[in-house]
Structure 1
Amino acid sequence: MRLREALADRRVLVTGVTGFIGEALLRTLLVEAPQTRPVVLVRPKAGQPAADRVARLLRRRTFAPAAEAAGGPERLLERVEVVEGDLEDVPALPRDLDVVVHCAGEVGFAPPLQEAFAVNVVGTRHLLERVLEASAPGPDREGRGPVHYVHVSTAYVGGRRRGPVPEASVEHAVDWRAELDAAVRLAARIEEDSRTPEVLARFNAEAQALHGRAGPLTAAADAERRRREWVLAEQREAGRQRGHSLGWTDVYTFTKALGERVVEEVGAPLPVSVVRPSIVESALEHPHPGWIEGFKMAEPLIMAYGRGELPEVPAAPDSTIDIVPVDHVVNALVAVCATTPEPGSPQYFHVSSGARNPLTFRRLYELVREHFLAHPFDTGEGPVDLPVWDFPGAAPVERRLALGERVHATAERALTYVPRSERVRGWSRDLDRLGRRLALLRQYSDLYQPYTQSELHFVDDATLALHRALDPQDVPALGFDTAVVDWPHYIRDVHAPSVTKPVRKQDELRRMRARRGPAGVRRPLVPAEPGAEPSDVLAVFDLDGTLLTANVVETYLWTRLPGLGTAGQAREVLSLARSLPSMLLTERRDRGDFLRQVYRRYRGADLRLLDELADTVLAPALLERASDAALQRVAAHRAAGHRTVLLSGAVEQLARPLAPMFDEVVTARLAVDADGRATGHLTAPPLVGEGRAAWVVRYAEVHGFDLAKSYAYADSHSDLPLLRAVGLPTAVSPDVPLLRAARGAGWPVEVWAARTTLPRRLRTPRAVTA
Structure 2
Amino acid sequence: MDATAKVLRCLRDRTILITGSTGFLAKLLVEKILRVQPDVKRLYLLVRAPDDAAAEQRVLHEVVGKEVFDVLREKHGADFHSFIKEKTTALAGDIIHQNLGLGNAQAKQLFEEIDIIISGAATTTFNERYDVALAINTFGTVHICQFAKQCAHLKLLLHISTGVAGNGEDRLILEKPLQMGQALKKGRCLDIGAELELTNKVKETLITERSGIVSSQQLEKVAMKELGFKRAKYFGWPNVYTFTKAMGEMLLGTMTGDFALVIVRPSIITSTFQDPFPGWIEGIRTIDVLIAATYEQKLPCFITGRIIDSIPGDMVVNATIVAMATHYDDVRTQAIYNVTSALQNPLPCNVLDESTHAYCLINPHVTDHKSFDDTNMRKLWGSMGAGRGDDGYIFNFDPSSINWRLYLFNTHIPAVLKS
TM-score, scaled relative to structure 2: 0.86
Q: What does residue range 683-698 of structure 1 map to in structure 2 within 5 Å? A: none
The alpha carbon displacement at 1:125 in A equals 1.1
Checking the alignment, whether the CA contact within 8 Å between 2:16 and 2:42 is kept in structure 1 is: yes
Q: What does residue range 72-111 of structure 1 map to in structure 2 within 5 Å? A: 72-89=80-97, 90=100, 91=102, 92=107, 93-111=110-128
Q: Would you say 1:178 and 2:194 are equivalent positions? A: yes
Q: Would you say 1:43 and 2:47 are equivalent positions? A: yes
In the other structure, the counterpart of 1:478 is 395
The alpha carbon displacement at 1:364 in A equals 2.3
Give aligned pairs, total: 390
Secondary structure, counterpart of 2:224 in structure 1: helix
Q: Measure the CA separation in 2 of the matches of 1:334 and 1:239.
A: 33
The alpha carbon displacement at 1:312 in A equals 2.8
Once the two structures are superposed, residues 386-443 of structure 1 have per-residue CA deviations (whole angstroms, 9 ceiling, x without a partner) of xx5263x56xxxxxxxxxxxxxxxxxxxxxxxxxxxxxxxxxxxxxxxxxxxxxxxxx
Q: What does residue range 741-756 of structure 1 map to in structure 2 within 5 Å? A: none
Q: Measure the CA separation in 2 of the matches of 1:239 and 1:94.
A: 35
Secondary structure, counterpart of 1:49 in structure 2: helix
Q: CA 1:368 to 1:77, structure 2 compared with 1: closer, same or farther past 3 Å?
A: farther
The alpha carbon displacement at 1:166 in A equals 0.9
Q: CA 1:185 to 1:37, structure 2 compared with 1: closer, same or farther past 3 Å?
A: farther
Q: Which residue identity is paired with 1:263?
A: L
In the other structure, the counterpart of 1:61 is 67
Q: Which residue identity is paired with 1:153?
A: S
Once the two structures are superposed, residues 310-348 of structure 1 have per-residue CA deviations (whole angstroms, 9 ceiling, x without a partner) of 2233434xx221111000000011101102264444100
Once the two structures are superposed, residues 672-695 of structure 1 have per-residue CA deviations (whole angstroms, 9 ceiling, x without a partner) of xxxxxxxxxxxxxxxxxxxxxxxx
In the other structure, the counterpart of 1:169 is 177
Secondary structure, counterpart of 2:293 in structure 1: helix
Q: Measure the CA separation in 2 of the matches of 1:464 and 1:490.
A: 21
Q: Would you say 1:21 and 2:35 are equivalent positions? A: no
Q: Would you say 1:147 and 2:155 are equivalent positions? A: yes
Q: CA 1:486 to 1:79, structure 2 compared with 1: closer, same or farther past 3 Å?
A: same
Structural RMSD (CA): 2.3
The alpha carbon displacement at 1:483 in A equals 1.8
Q: Would you say 1:351 and 2:339 are equivalent positions? A: yes
Q: Would you say 1:265 and 2:254 are equivalent positions? A: yes
Q: Would you say 1:293 and 2:320 are equivalent positions? A: no
Q: Would you say 1:242 and 2:197 are equivalent positions? A: no
Q: Measure the CA separation in 1 of the matches of 2:340 and 2:56.
A: 34
Q: Measure the CA separation in 1 of the matches of 2:360 and 2:287.
A: 19
Q: What does residue range 340-419 of structure 1 map to in structure 2 within 5 Å? A: 340=327, 342-369=330-357, 388-389=358-359, 391=361
Q: CA 1:495 to 1:160, structure 2 compared with 1: closer, same or farther past 3 Å?
A: farther
Checking the alignment, whether the CA contact within 8 Å between 1:357 and 1:483 is kept in structure 2 is: no
Q: CA 1:115 to 1:291, structure 2 compared with 1: closer, same or farther past 3 Å?
A: same
The alpha carbon displacement at 1:38 in A equals 3.4
Q: What does residue range 200-599 of structure 1 map to in structure 2 within 5 Å? A: 224-225=214-215, 227-316=216-305, 319-340=306-327, 342-369=330-357, 388-389=358-359, 391=361, 450-452=365-367, 454-472=368-386, 473-502=390-419
Once the two structures are superposed, residues 699-737 of structure 1 have per-residue CA deviations (whole angstroms, 9 ceiling, x without a partner) of xxxxxxxxxxxxxxxxxxxxxxxxxxxxxxxxxxxxxxx
The alpha carbon displacement at 1:43 in A equals 3.0
Q: Measure the CA separation in 2 of the matches of 1:41 and 1:463.
A: 27
Q: CA 1:38 to 1:321, structure 2 compared with 1: closer, same or farther past 3 Å?
A: farther
Secondary structure, counterpart of 2:276 in structure 1: coil
Q: Percent identity?
A: 26
Secondary structure, counterpart of 2:33 in structure 1: helix
Secondary structure, counterpart of 1:134 in structure 2: coil
Q: CA 1:11 to 1:236, structure 2 compared with 1: closer, same or farther past 3 Å?
A: same
Greater Cα shift, 227-236 or 461-470: 227-236
Checking the alignment, whether the CA contact within 8 Å between 2:309 and 2:345 is kept in structure 1 is: no
In the other structure, the counterpart of 2:185 is none
Q: Measure the CA separation in 2 of the matches of 1:299 and 1:343.
A: 40
Secondary structure, counterpart of 1:104 in structure 2: coil
Q: CA 1:390 to 1:463, structure 2 compared with 1: closer, same or farther past 3 Å?
A: closer
- After TM superposition, which residue ranges in structure 1, 4 or more long, deviate above 4 angstroms? none
Q: Measure the CA separation in 2 of the matches of 1:237 and 1:108.
A: 14
In the other structure, the counterpart of 1:750 is none
Q: Measure the CA separation in 1 of the matches of 2:114 and 2:193.
A: 29
Checking the alignment, whether the CA contact within 8 Å between 2:45 and 2:88 is kept in structure 1 is: no
The alpha carbon displacement at 1:191 in A equals 4.2
The alpha carbon displacement at 1:161 in A equals 3.5
Q: Would you say 1:188 and 2:204 are equivalent positions? A: yes
In the other structure, the counterpart of 1:567 is none
Secondary structure, counterpart of 1:40 in structure 2: strand
The alpha carbon displacement at 1:46 in A equals 6.8
Q: Measure the CA separation in 1 of the matches of 2:331 and 2:207.
A: 42
The alpha carbon displacement at 1:268 in A equals 4.4
Q: Measure the CA separation in 2 of the matches of 1:180 and 1:284.
A: 40
The alpha carbon displacement at 1:486 in A equals 1.4
Q: Which residue identity is paired with 2:30?
A: L
Q: CA 1:191 to 1:133, structure 2 compared with 1: closer, same or farther past 3 Å?
A: same
Higher relative contact order (CA closer than 8 Å, sequence separation 6+): 2
Once the two structures are superposed, residues 513-572 of structure 1 have per-residue CA deviations (whole angstroms, 9 ceiling, x without a partner) of xxxxxxxxxxxxxxxxxxxxxxxxxxxxxxxxxxxxxxxxxxxxxxxxxxxxxxxxxxxx
Q: Which residue identity is paired with 2:72?
A: A
Q: Would you say 1:114 and 2:131 are equivalent positions? A: yes
Q: Which residue identity is paired with 1:43?
A: V
The alpha carbon displacement at 1:296 in A equals 1.3
In the other structure, the counterpart of 1:31 is 35
Q: CA 1:490 to 1:192, structure 2 compared with 1: closer, same or farther past 3 Å?
A: farther
Q: Measure the CA separation in 2 of the matches of 1:350 and 1:12.
A: 23
Q: CA 1:474 to 1:180, structure 2 compared with 1: closer, same or farther past 3 Å?
A: farther
Q: Measure the CA separation in 2 of the matches of 1:295 and 1:38.
A: 31
Checking the alignment, whether the CA contact within 8 Å between 1:278 and 1:351 is kept in structure 2 is: yes
Checking the alignment, whether the CA contact within 8 Å between 2:167 and 2:174 is kept in structure 1 is: no
Q: Measure the CA separation in 2 of the matches of 1:62 and 1:358.
A: 24
Unaligned runs of 5+ residues in structure 2 are 183-188
Checking the alignment, whether the CA contact within 8 Å between 2:17 and 2:46 is kept in structure 1 is: no
Which residue, 10, 14, 18 being the options, matches 1:10?
A: 14
The alpha carbon displacement at 1:159 in A equals 6.1
Checking the alignment, whether the CA contact within 8 Å between 2:149 and 2:257 is kept in structure 1 is: no
Once the two structures are superposed, residues 27-73 of structure 1 have per-residue CA deviations (whole angstroms, 9 ceiling, x without a partner) of 00001122222322323537762122223332333223334444222
Q: Measure the CA separation in 2 of the matches of 1:313 and 1:66.
A: 38
Checking the alignment, whether the CA contact within 8 Å between 2:303 and 2:360 is kept in structure 1 is: no
Q: Which residue identity is paired with 2:203?
A: A
Q: Measure the CA separation in 1 of the matches of 2:115 and 2:235.
A: 36
Q: Which residue identity is paired with 1:352?
A: T
Q: Which residue identity is paired with 2:142?
A: R
Q: Measure the CA separation in 1 of the matches of 2:208 and 2:350.
A: 46
Q: CA 1:278 to 1:193, structure 2 compared with 1: closer, same or farther past 3 Å?
A: farther
Q: What does residue range 701-716 of structure 1 map to in structure 2 within 5 Å? A: none
Checking the alignment, whether the CA contact within 8 Å between 1:26 and 1:38 is kept in structure 2 is: no
Checking the alignment, whether the CA contact within 8 Å between 1:13 and 1:101 is kept in structure 2 is: yes
Q: Measure the CA separation in 1 of the matches of 2:58 and 2:148.
A: 23
Q: Measure the CA separation in 2 of the matches of 1:181 and 1:37.
A: 42
Checking the alignment, whether the CA contact within 8 Å between 2:22 and 2:47 is kept in structure 1 is: no
Q: Which residue identity is paired with 1:336?
A: A
